[in-house]
A and B are shown apart, each in its own frame.
Chain A
C-alpha cells in the first residue's frame, strides 16, 4: 500500500453548531476544533473515538454536506457519498418505488437504478414484498432494503458510519461479508466505528478523534493500542 494519491484533505478543520438559548441569544458549540488528515486513493481509513467526539460531523464534512468554519477542506475532484440507509423512505410507497427514490437521493442515475432493480430485490430477499408498501415491512425488512440499495452505490469515496451489515443473523453475515469485500477491493473508504476488530480487519490507517481534535494518526495497530490504553486510564467513574 504505497499509493499516496491524495483524494480528500483536512487541514486544521473546525466546525461549530449553533445552540439557541432564550429568545435571541445563541451559543456556538464546537463539534470539531482541530482535525487534520489526508485520505489517499484506494485506502480504507478508520476513524475511532468516544461518543460525542465529532465523528459523525466529520463524515458530513467529508461528504460535502457542510463546510468547515475554520481550516481547509480540499476535495481533489472526487465524488463522495455518505452511506445513508433508508434516507427519505416513504411508508406508503412500495419497496420498488422507495428504491427508485432512495437511489436518486444517493445520486445513482435513474437508468442505473432501473437496471439494478432485480438485483436489489434479490439481494434484499424481500420476494413479493418488494411490491408492497413498506409500511407493511418489519424494521428488519426495511433495513435489508436500505442496505441493498446503498450497496449499489459506486462513488469514488464511500463514507460509512458504523453500519456494515444489517438485519437478522444470516442477512447480517451476508451483508457484512459483501461490504467487506467491497471495501477490500480498490474502493476508497472512510469508516467510523467503535469496533476495533472491524478496523483491524479493514483499515490501513486509523485516525483517533478526541474532543473534536486529532489525538493520533497512523497505522492501525499502534493507534488502536494507544486508544485502548487511553480508555483504560480514563474509564468513567463508576457509581458507588
Chain B
C-alpha cells in the first residue's frame, strides 16, 4: 500500500464524513445524538422495563453497546464496500482493500467521538482514571484488528455471493446477544464462562468494563492471542482480496 493509496483512503474518509454531515440540518451533532438515542432505547427496554439487576447498569450498558456498535457497523460496511463501489472499480484500477479501509476510518472516527463522551460520563459518575487505563490502547487496537480482519473476509466474499450479507447480518445479531451487552457474563457458571469468552467480542467488552469501571485488567494472554489471530486474519484476507483483484470488476458487473 503506497503513500498514494493512504492519501486516497484518508481523503475519501474525510470526504464521506463531510458529505454525510452536509446532508442534515444539525450535521455533525447526529454523530453524538444518534448513538445516545439508540442507547436510550436499550436502556428503557432492558434497564427499566425488564428491570436489569446489574449494578451501575447505565455505564455498564453504554460501554458494551458502544464497543459493539463500532464492531457491527464497521464489519457490515466493510462487507459491502467492494460491491458498493461497482461503478468505480470498473473505471479505475485500484487495489480493492482500499474500499473496506475507507469505512474502517470513517466508522472508527465516529466511534472515538462517542467513546470520548462515555469516558467523560464515567469520570463524572465517579469511575476515575486508573493505572489500568494503560491497557486501553491495546484493547482498542485489538478490537480494531479484529474488525478489519472479519470485515476483510466478508468484503472478499460478498461480491461473489451477495446473499452472504443477509447471513452475516443474522449471525452477527445472534452473536450480539452472546456478547454480554445486557448482562454480566461473570455471573454465569465457570463452565459456561469458558465457552462464552471464546467469543472475542464478549472478551473485549468485558475487558473494557474491567478497565473503565473496576480499574483492573488481567487476562493479557488471551488479549494477545486475539490480537495475533486478527493480524494473521488481516494478512490472509488481504491476500484473498489481492488474488481476486482483477476478478471483482467482472463479478460486480453482473
**Interface residues in chain A, defined as those with a beta carbon under 8 Å from any beta carbon in chain B:** 17-20, 60, 63-67, 81-82, 84, 87-88, 90-93, 97, 100-101, 104-107, 109-110, 133
Partner of A17, one of B4, B93, B246, B253: B253
Residues of A within 8 A of B94 (CB): 105
> Within 8 Å of chain A (Cβ to Cβ): is B89?
yes
Chain A residues whose CB sits within 8 angstroms of the CB of B20 once the complex forms:
92
Q: A18-B251, A66-B246 are in contact. Are A104 and B91 (CB under 8 A)?
A: no
B residues 120-138 near A (Cβ < 8 Å) are none
- Partner of A110 from the list B4, B15, B23, B251 (CB cut-off 8 Å) is B4
Q: Tell me, in angstroms, the Cα distance from A34 to B22 when the chains sit together.
A: 49
Q: B93, A92: Cβ atoms under 8 Å?
A: no
Q: How far is the CB of A58 from chain B (nearest CB, A)?
A: 13
B11 within 8 A of A: yes
Most-contacted residue by chain A among B16, B88, B90 (CB, 10 A)? B90
Q: Are B18 and A93 in contact (CB under 8 A)?
A: yes
Residues of A within 8 A of B246 (CB): 64-67
Chain B residues lying within 8 Å of A87, measured Cβ to Cβ, are 87-88, 91-92
**Complex partner residue of A101 from B4, B15, B91, CB under 8 angstroms:** B15
Q: What B residues does A90 contact at CB under 8 A? A: 15-16, 19
Q: List which B88-110 residues lie within 8 A (CB) of chain A.
A: 88-94
Contact bitstring B207-223, A, C-beta under 8 A = 1, else 0: 00000000000000000
Residues of B whose CB lies within 8 Å of any CB of A are 4, 7-8, 11-12, 15-16, 18-20, 22-23, 87-94, 246, 249-251, 253-254
Whether A18 touches B250, Cβ cut-off 8 Å, given contacts A104-B7, A133-B22, is yes
CB-based closest 3 A-B pairs? A84-B91, A92-B19, A67-B246
The answer for the CA separation of A101 and B19 in the assembled complex, in Å, is: 12
Q: Which residues of A contact B22 (CB under 8 A)?
A: 92-93, 133
| Whole-angstrom CA separation of A19 from B89 in the bound complex | 19
A91 partner residues in chain B, CB cutoff 8 A: 19
Contacting residue for A66 out of B8, B87, B249, B254, CB 8 A: B249
- Give complex CA distance A107, B250 in Å: 21
* Contact yes or no, B254 A18, CB < 8 A: yes
List B contacts of A104 (CB < 8 A): 4, 7-8, 11-12
Q: Which residues of A contact B11 (CB under 8 A)?
A: 100-101, 104, 110
Q: Is the CB of B254 within 8 A of A17?
A: yes
Whether A64 pairs with B19 at a CB distance below 8 angstroms is no
Contact between A17 and B15 (Cβ–Cβ < 8 Å)? no
Given the complex of chains A and B, what is the CA–CA distance between A104 and B91 in angstroms? 13
Contact check, A106 vs B18: say whether CB atoms are below 8 A apart: no
Q: A17-B253, A67-B246, A104-B7 are in contact. Are A97 and B92 (CB under 8 A)?
A: no
Judge whether A17 and B92 touch: CB under 8 Å: no
- Contact sample, A vs B, 10 pairs, CB 8 Å cutoff: A17-B253, A60-B249, A65-B249, A81-B93, A82-B91, A84-B91, A87-B92, A90-B19, A100-B15, A104-B11
Query: Out of A19, A20, A64, A97, which one reaches B93, CB within 8 Å?
Result: A64
Q: List 7 extra interface pairs beyond A84-B92, A93-B19, CB under 8 A.
A: A81-B93, A82-B92, A87-B87, A93-B22, A101-B15, A105-B8, A109-B4
Supposing A66-B249, A93-B18, A104-B8 touch, asked if A88 and B88 sit within 8 A by C-beta, the answer is yes
User: Shortest CB–CB separation between residue B238 and chain A, in angstroms?
Assistant: 19
Indicate whether A106 sits within 8 Å of B19 (C-beta atoms), given known contacts A60-B249, A65-B249, A101-B11: no
Cross-chain contact A65 with B15 (CB below 8 angstroms): no
Contacts of A133 in B (CB 8 A): 22
Provide the bound-state CA to CA distance between A87 and B8, in Å. 14
Report the bound CA distance from A110 to B7 in whole Å: 7
**B92 lies within 8 A of A92 (CB):** no
- Whole-angstrom distance from the CB of B138 to the nearest CB of chain A? 32
State which of A19, A84, A100 has its C-beta within 8 Å of the C-beta of B254: A19
* Bound CA span A82–B89, Å: 12
Please name the residue on chain A nearest to B4 by beta carbon.
Answer: A109
* Shortest distance between the CB of A211 and any CB in chain B (Å): 19
Min distance, Cβ A57 to any Cβ of chain B, angstroms = 9
**A79, closest chain B residue (CB):** B93
Q: In the bound complex, how far is the Cα of B4 from the Cα of A106, in angstroms?
A: 11
B254 near A20: Cβ-Cβ < 8 Å:
yes
